[in-house]
Chain A
Amino acid sequence: MQKLGEELRNRAGQKIVDPEYLLFEAPREKVFMTGSEVVKEAVKRASVDASVSYPITPQSEAAHLIGELWVEGYVGVYFRGESEFGVMSEIAGCSMAGARTITTTSGPGTLRAMENFPMWAGSRLPIQLVLMARGINSPLSIQPDDLEVSFLLDTGCMVWYAENAQELFDMILAGFVVAEQPDVHVPVINVINGFFISHTRESVMLPPDDIALPPYNPYKAPMPPIDMEMPPGRFLRDPFVMKSNYISYATHTSWQFEVRAAIERARPYIKKYLGSLIEEFGDPEADIVLVSTGTGAAQSKEAVRLLEDEGVKARVVKLRTIRPFPINELRQAVKNAKVIFVPEFNVVGWLEREIRRYLYKHSDAEIIGGPRVAGGMTMPPEIIVKDVLNYLGKEVKHVY
């Protein structure tokens, strides 16, 4: 970091500003961009030290664009891994050495790299992963489907879910800030529905690109960084292995609880930097509630508008974070609900399972897992409207 007068600047010469200024106060200009391009714009303003990439649809373009940032001097280190497993291992090495890191993946790549995600969390590495969700094999599909998210829920990583390119931009920046808090310091996975967000253009408000987040300070981390210049660092990071009777099973238990506790400690920071763990949309008095995430929430909002034309009041509760799960926020938001629909982009209904778990004995509402689409189908708002009208016993008119 250079100091010019009173100003601090990062390696790219950008002025270092407070995260609050970058996220909430800096003037913003409207641009028309894809989700992949937005990843580049967020990383450009994030003082990122290292990124490792590997091609897999639909995240390849975002990974490629981060590479352009390396050429332009905004990212310190950038290279291609041997596979997704290689990528997630190599990015862990960069993070252990004290670098701010980001990478991207999708679908089968996520599963190939799977062993690394609990390793990241257990090693308290604040790595950011942008997950552009797509179908997982087999059968092979490159199309959007978010089944893979269910595999990540118990890895010890935070899992956030962006509805659109704007939210993705803000979540990437906020993700670094929250994940790097010393009492949190676990990975953050920012999910979007592949293609729907990664490959479509929409209006996004961006702050100037000559300002950036303060650099990561690894010396405030809950574990010492591997710093070969500082002798204690060489041996403080020795891996924990339960190979002695004097190491109780309890150490492993306590360690795992600590990782989960770290996710819980993120709650106040998420409220500060994202505003809330949920977003509510529609008539607050409505007792028909659509609980969803990402593109499912976007389509649910449109369904609420269509239902209004049918004379039906409904509302949306969008979950911005899945880990930590917005338990109290959801219970409060649905306290007067009579029926809850859970639109999802997968066949198993993992979000419905989560919602049932946290509302058990906390809501009298009927919970309907659906509508669901998968394998790359879109979710027209009309199919949500149809399900709601069918439930109410109303005539389904304009829905085909």
Chain B
Amino acid sequence: MATLGPSHYSPYPVAVYENILPPPPGKALLFTEVVDEEVAMREAAKAMLTRENPTIFPGPQVIYAWNEEAKEKARLIRELAEVLEAKIIPMVDYRPKYPKIDPEKEINPNHPNLTIWHNNIKACIFVGVHCHYANVALKIIRAETDCFTIALCSNAGHEDAMITLRDQHAEELKKFIEIAKEVKKEVK
């Protein structure tokens, strides 16, 4: 929890105030360290395969058929979930849910901790969530839960996640699936 520095007594730590910026192109972020993409993928797979109730949170960019890439990514995310033996709980939209979210069925960026608490999720992957909402949710998750967060971003990445991979498209997802299969053989 951030009790010192620019965020003061707010329980919400903000990575940039700890001088952590998104990784440069071609690289990934593992906690505070800039690493090669493969290293981050291996650590991400390990976290998902060894922690309780691993879950993938696909967002609107991959759960709606906006274009051919979205459809291809959705198929690959299903395959990734099978390899990682992870549940899929979608983030169908970004509207706060009134009067109460059904945490078995969905996650929402305005109160993501409710879904994580309810399902006792200890590792998760954000994919296909628009960057602003991913960042709002990741800050809350980091403050309110002990869930290990992984962000697969098609843009510049999310420094508030514990592992962030940037410029992730279908090709990179295929690579992640192959690495996850290798890691699975090692840890299972």
Residues of A at the B interface (CB closer than 8 Å) are 124, 181-183, 185, 220-224, 230-232, 235-238, 240-241, 243-244, 246-248, 250-251, 253-255, 257-258, 260-261, 264-265, 267-268
Bound Cα distance A231, B14 (Å): 33
Interface assignment of B175: CB less than 8 Å from any CB of chain A = no
- Does B35 have its Cβ within 8 Å of any Cβ on chain A? no
| B93 engages A243 (CB within 8 Å) | no
Binding site for A on B (CB under 8 A): 7, 10-12, 14-17, 21-22, 24, 60, 64, 66, 93-101, 110-111, 114, 130-133, 135-137, 139-140, 143-144, 155-157, 159-160
Rank and list the top 8 A-B pairs by shortest CB-CB distance, nearest first.
A222-B131, A222-B132, A182-B155, A183-B156, A264-B16, A238-B95, A254-B139, A261-B16
Task: Among A181, A221, A251, point to the contact of B130 (Cβ < 8 A).
Answer: A221
Contact B139 A223 (CB under 8 A): no
* Contact (Cβ within 8 A) A253 B10: yes
Please judge, given known A-B contacts A124-B132, A255-B136, A268-B21, whether A243 and B12 are in contact too, CB under 8 Å.
no
Task: Across the interface, name the chain A residue whose C-beta is closest to B95.
Answer: A238
Q: Is the CB of B66 within 8 A of A244?
A: no
- In the complex, what distance in Å separates the CA atom of A265 from the CA atom of B158? 11
Q: Are A247's CB and B96's CB within 8 A?
A: yes
Q: Are A238 and B155 neighbours in the complex by a CB distance under 8 Å?
A: no
- Residues from chain B with a CB closer than 8 A to the CB of A255 are 136
**Taking the nearest CB of chain A, how far is it from the CB of B98, in angstroms?**
5
Q: Within the complex, which residue of A182, A247, A254 is in contact with B131, where a contact is CB–CB below 8 Å?
A: A182
Partner of B139, one of A221, A244, A246, A258: A258
Q: Which residue of A231, A243, A265 has the most chain B CB atoms within 10 A of its CB atom?
A: A265
Closest Cβ of chain A: how far from B4's Cβ, in Å?
14
Residues of B within 8 A of A268 (CB): 21, 24
Assess whether B66 is in contact with A230, with CB atoms less than 8 Å apart.
yes
User: Which chain A residue has the least Cβ–Cβ distance from B96?
Assistant: A247
- Known A220-B155, A244-B96, A246-B111; judge A232-B131 contact (CB<8 A): no
Whether B21 contacts A264 by the Cβ 8 Å rule is: yes
Q: How far is the CA of A237 from the CA of B144 in the complex (A)?
A: 25
Cβ-defined contact, A265 with B22, below 8 A: yes
Residues of A within 8 A of B100 (CB): 246
The residue in chain A whose Cβ has the minimal distance to the Cβ of B60 is A232
Centre residue among A183, A240, A254 by max chain B CB count within 10 A: A254
Q: Which residues of B contact A237 (CB under 8 A)?
A: 94
Contacts A223-B132, A230-B66, A253-B10 given; indicate if A248 touches B111 (C-beta within 8 A). Answer: yes
Q: How many whole Å from B160's CB to the nearest CB in chain A?
A: 8
With a CB–CB cut-off of 8 A, which chain A residues contact B131?
182-183, 185, 222
